[in-house]
Chain A
Amino acid sequence: MKFQFKYSIAVIAIAFALFSCTDKNDEVITGEGNLKLEFDNVYNANNLAFDTPYTNSNGEVVKINKLKYIVSNIVLTKVDGTTFTVPKSQSYFIVDESTTASTLLNLPNIPAANYTKVSFGIGVDQAQFNLGATGQGDFLALAQTAGMMWSWSAGYKFLAFEGTFTSSTVTTPTSFMVHTGQTGTDYNYTTVTLNLPTNALVRTTITPQVHIMADISKVLDGTNKVSLTASNGMGMGAMIMSGANLPLITANLSNMFSVEHVHND
């Protein structure tokens, strides 16, 4: 009896093992689902808040009152290494810290699969510019309404980061405006690739949400240090919208994102 009991347990265990094995191996993943990318803007270890003083490593006290950036060209990598590219024309978004809805990008029609990586661009890529208006749909209108059109150069602001600052030499709060975009010498578009800590399981019934942290402190205070004080040349505010600082800031942008976690609900 004892033997029989043990035997039964073994059989049941094997059956379970087999059953769960078959379950894993034979799960046919078909159809399409949705995936959401959440862009959670933070400043170092704090949730980003407007008009709140943050001190950077240049000794500047920065208060932010505008933060917007263009996210584009989203590509998802599956467990087997193959990729799914979100159709280019449906892959341009403006993340705006002042509008909560804009920080959650909903990507429909994603093939059901287990995804290990996400990559995206910050800005509008050169290939798109070379196509002229082709493929832009109504993004120009959207960008203009959001104040993200760089109209004097017929392009886009890839990043708009604005506020006020003070420092040891700039004692009264002085405005700063950081705008990146295409210039005559630099494209200033960058791509970011992030590994997911757990796979995003896109199913017809599961919409994974990838929680991405964007550490805004790194815009000026990342690998490259960009001084607002030094850019306040005329005493009229630090206007960083062209020149050699833009590629430095663009490099900082490429390193400011990380994935905090993935929800598979």
Chain B
Amino acid sequence: MKTNYLLLLILPLLWSCSNDQDDTYQNIPLEFKVPSNFPPLAYDLVNNPPTQKGFELGKKLFYEGRLASDGIVSCGFCHIQEDAFTHHGHSLSHGVNDAIGTRNTPSIQNLGFQTSFMYDGATTHLDLQPIIPFTSPIEMNGDFSKAIAMMKSDAEYQKLFRLAFTDGQINSENMLKALGQFMLMVTSSNSRFDKYRRNETGGTLTQQELDGYAVFNQKCATCHATDLFTDNSFRNNGLPVNPLINDVGRFRVTQLAQDLHKFKVPSLRNVEKTAPYMHDGRFLTLEGVLEHYNSGVGNSTNLDPILNINGRLGIALTPTEKTQLIAFLKTLTDTQYLTDKRFSEY
């Protein structure tokens, strides 16, 4: 009898304990490891240290259609994991109300190593980048006040914000921080090429792939530098301007004549999966991209000098070199990242 009473006394205690655990900030840090073959991280982890719960909230937000004005177009709508978080098959991506954008969806991977975002470098902080697609009338056409009201009336979000942030506030700051944590953690560092570079098991390249790597280092690696395959610069690579769009590129941000029609050098990781290519998705295949560099580069005042050496426009590539390069580029495909359950919607 005595023990029964004691149990009855203890029971509510147990209940309230577990209730507390469910509902308050949980600091389960996520370790961000910089792969040994990568350059240093640009993202400041101190300001927004990733936690398990922050990441989970960020992932829910990333796949949340209710953030958009039509309740459908989430970030993940155009950023599809199996296509290296691009919009496979769409040269230009479409947003709410069938609005068509002017640029091709860029990949999401290793963003913590980038110093600016968007093809024109319109923003320099990963946490602030989502503002652009979220509020763009031709993308998600979202409204922060409405999104916050929606989340405040949703029990699941109420709980997740409390678990993810010390102040538990549902506001635009924490919403962006959670998205930042999710995007930061989306890392691709385990392609066959990475394993080759780190001398790990499975890191064997064929002779053709090695030959391609040699051609790459000789002819492509100035711009597609480091094992992230970008030097984060803005360049004009001789694409003829599409007069229907006349995308001025970096000029939009700086208004400097020397930045007209310059675009950010993209990473080539998982490039096999990110077709179509270029800022406007004009090339449907890698063969098309290489042929552009071989024979399609157009001259202009801002053409990158490296593509106009001794009066020869572009980069001379033989058919063999092209085959070798494509074989090499396919070693950058990272199946683990493309199928990682931590990043997937379902």
Q: Contact residues of A with B, CB < 8 Å? A: 129-141, 144-145, 149, 151-155, 183-185, 242-244
Contacts and interface: CB of A to CB of B under 8 A. Distances in A.
B245 to A, nearest CB: 15
A153 B123 contact: yes
A71 B140 CA distance: 29
A185 B172 CA distance: 27
B256 interface: yes
7 contacts: A134-B177, A138-B144, A145-B145, A153-B122, A154-B132, A155-B128, A183-B254
Contacts of B126: 132
Nearest to B126: A132
Contacts of B143: 144-145
B264 interface: no
A242 B132 CA distance: 18
Interface in B220-276: 250, 252-256, 259
A132 to B, nearest CB: 3
Point out which of A153, A155, A183, A242 has the most chain B C-beta atoms below 10 A from its C-beta.
A153
B27 interface: no
Given A144-B135, A185-B254, 13 more contacts: A131-B125, A132-B125, A132-B127, A133-B180, A134-B48, A134-B177, A137-B172, A140-B144, A140-B173, A141-B172, A153-B132, A154-B125, A184-B121
B180 A138 contact: no
Interface residues of B, number: 37
Contact of B125 (A129, A144, A152, A185): A129
Interface of B: 44, 47-48, 121-132, 135-136, 143-145, 148, 169, 171-177, 180, 250, 252-256, 259
Nearest to B175: A133
Contacts of A141: 144-145, 148, 171-172
Point out which of A135, A137, A140 has the most chain B C-beta atoms below 10 A from its C-beta.
A140
B256 to A, nearest CB: 7
Query: Interface SS of chain A: helix, strand, loop or mixed?
Result: loop
Given A139-B172, A140-B173, A130 B255 contact: no
Contacts of B127: 132-134
A137 B171 contact: yes
Contacts of A185: 254-256
B256 A138 contact: no
B128 to A, nearest CB: 4
A125 to B, nearest CB: 14
A185 B44 CA distance: 23
Contacts of A151: 131-132, 135-136
Given A141-B171, A149-B131, A134 B47 contact: yes
Contacts of A155: 123, 128, 131
